[in-house]
Structure 1
């Protein structure tokens, strides 16, 4: 879930390049990953009083990443003339090397713990198709956290077509798409009442890429709207307060309704949080564009944001190993110690993975892959309609990578 962002120059702001031109979004990525980590620690290790209540539905952090993905891709590639093949290769270079390495790591831990591993699950994971298959073994048999990359791969495939839609290119169309995406999420959640099998319902509402596409689409239209001058109705910290308030409201709901029921906050926390995350991302981006300090874009915040993709893929593997090694804690103090150990070890491994695996392999693959064609010389005008002319993502027909 790593994305480059580009923004107009801000007078008086420090010069930034590449993925950190919207530094607050990079910083937010770390906090979203942290919420997912704490969610897994609460549910798989043991809860910590108070904190676990707030992150009991922290899986919504994945929804944040889907919204952020659409926002940053639209922001970055709007107006860029990039062939779709180049765009897709760049996305492959971004996510697949670390996926492959962490899947090998995950399978190695499973085998070391004496657990059987499904070869079909590993292949499905590496092919990024596992979220399409309603089988828990396939979904989690490679690297359990990697299911969201199957959704991301789908988003990347449809992104050029989305950006070519006339409705996406107009302010009125984007408003309608935003309204329909929010209403569609509510209808999808209510549609869970038609699925009586809890495991099928969880797959259809929480994993299936088609269901999650609404969140990505909301991010796309928000990114284009902000790029064209729209400003969200709330600033950054009120948007943060809305997100926190939403998760606080889930606490009494959780106590009243078991997660196994369709009207529990489990799926609602993921499907209905997208509008709040879109406001949050838009508000943070606007603050960066306008040169306002947010506290989210400092050097360490950016560094942690860079590590967050690896942290997301690695932390559950570390949890699995620590539980096998030390067992489930029985007191608050031992729970806190095991939490601290998992966070420290997984974050350290993530830093190493970013520095020695993710970043260098991405650069290598991008250098070896297809590139944006050089612009024609003035005396050799381009012929977009000529046979063999590359399909591009442009301001008129889409956005590139």
Structure 2
């Protein structure tokens, strides 16, 4: 395994932990086993921001390792990345459409069940179905589209994949720009200033796109970060404080400039969590354990399919007399894990193999 691939263990572990957090967030808001009032304390949105930073890192590491960025196989990168990203995503959408129909037919009024107007005329139904596969231009922040319309997706987590695809397509630009920056600290400060403007103005594409660029900056400094050693109390503080900031952003909404500042600080906290997972410490070792890396291995499949499972069970199990939130949540965890493993084997692994063949690269060179 090439030296630069050693980072996959801890970063995959963090990705797996993020996918689990998103699962718990959706369990909380869809099934409500933890109380049912107010805002979920599981940071689903922050986990997605961490995913974006991780993607920026992982996709940039190999190009930065080249002696000359121009020698990187960009023509091979594009088919490899698009297949790797889109094949599982489109398969999940294809599963979610009939699942949404069944949920709608059973009387569910969830957002996913109403994403397609199944009782409309045929052209409208076809339009709504095709819109589910539009992940390039139908962008959103997870709640509303760019122009303020409510998000309507049969598989709600798919919203974030639009940003993954946009960044994947524009990766050469990010590599070119970041490789020419001589003061990475100033670049990070500039990015967070733009993130603040994004929150303050409400223009969400700016902050979502820039999270990937933070990952590119981290990738440029990856070896230096990886070699950092901190005392255990310092490392613990660098975990506790960011998590506290993330949780505070979930429950406190002061509005105006104060909220924009808090939200920007939350983004910085997400970056800190990623950096701590890279440095030489106990966090990296924990995230590199077998259970965490296994969770990381199936994290993309879990992320794509868990909302379908939760929505289906929430609609179906009460018909069988299983209506308690805790029972539905437990069943969702078990079934989501099984479905994620099956999806990984049946869809994700073949897509990885196909992406390798199209990119004409050896397996060890595949960007994951």
Mark yes or no: TM-score above 0.5: yes
Q: Say how many residue pairs are matched.
A: 333
Q: Which residue of 111, 128, 146 corresponds with 2:158? A: 146
SS at match of 1:181: helix
Give the equivalent residue in structure 1 for 2:87.
Answer: 97
SS at match of 2:280: helix
- Aligned partners of 2:17 and 2:292 also within 8 Å: no
- Correspondence 1:181 to 2:191: yes
Q: Distance in 1 between matches of 2:228 and 2:36?
A: 32
Q: Distance in 2 between matches of 1:275 and 1:324?
A: 38
Q: Distance in 2 between matches of 1:263 and 1:326?
A: 45
- Aligned partners of 1:63 and 1:270 also within 8 Å: no
Question: Please, what TM-score do these two structures have when normalized by structure 2?
Answer: 0.78
- Aligned partners of 2:242 and 2:272 also within 8 Å: no
- Correspondence 1:365 to 2:336: no
Q: Distance in 1 between matches of 2:168 and 2:225?
A: 25
Q: Distance in 2 between matches of 1:229 and 1:123?
A: 44
Give the equivalent residue in structure 2 for 1:220.
Answer: 216
**Structure 1: runs of 5 or more not aligned:** 9-17, 193-203, 374-399
Q: Which residue of 327, 338, 341 corresponds with 1:351? A: 341
- Correspondence 1:46 to 2:32: yes
The verdict on how the C-alpha distance between 1:271 and 1:346 changes in structure 2, with shifts beyond 3 A counting, is: farther
Structure with bigger helix share is 2
SS at match of 1:302: helix
Q: Distance in 1 between matches of 2:149 and 2:199?
A: 24
Deviation at 1:137, TM superposition (A): 7.7
Question: Please, what TM-score do these two structures have when normalized by structure 1?
Answer: 0.72
Give the equivalent residue in structure 1 for 2:237.
Answer: 238
Aligned ranges 1:328-347 → 2 under 5 Å: 334-347=324-337
Give the equivalent residue in structure 2 for 1:169.
Answer: 180
Q: Distance in 1 between matches of 2:245 and 2:360?
A: 43
- Correspondence 1:156 to 2:152: no
Deviation at 1:63, TM superposition (A): 0.6
Q: Distance in 2 between matches of 1:237 and 1:120?
A: 50
Q: Distance in 2 between matches of 1:163 and 1:141?
A: 32
Deviations 1:13-44, CA, capped at 9 Å, x for gaps: xxxxx5x6431111111111111111111112
Give the equivalent residue in structure 1 for 2:139.
Answer: 131
- Aligned partners of 1:42 and 1:52 also within 8 Å: no
Deviation at 1:317, TM superposition (A): 0.8
**Structure 2: runs of 5 or more not aligned:** 106-112, 119-124
Give the equivalent residue in structure 2 for 1:278.
Answer: 271
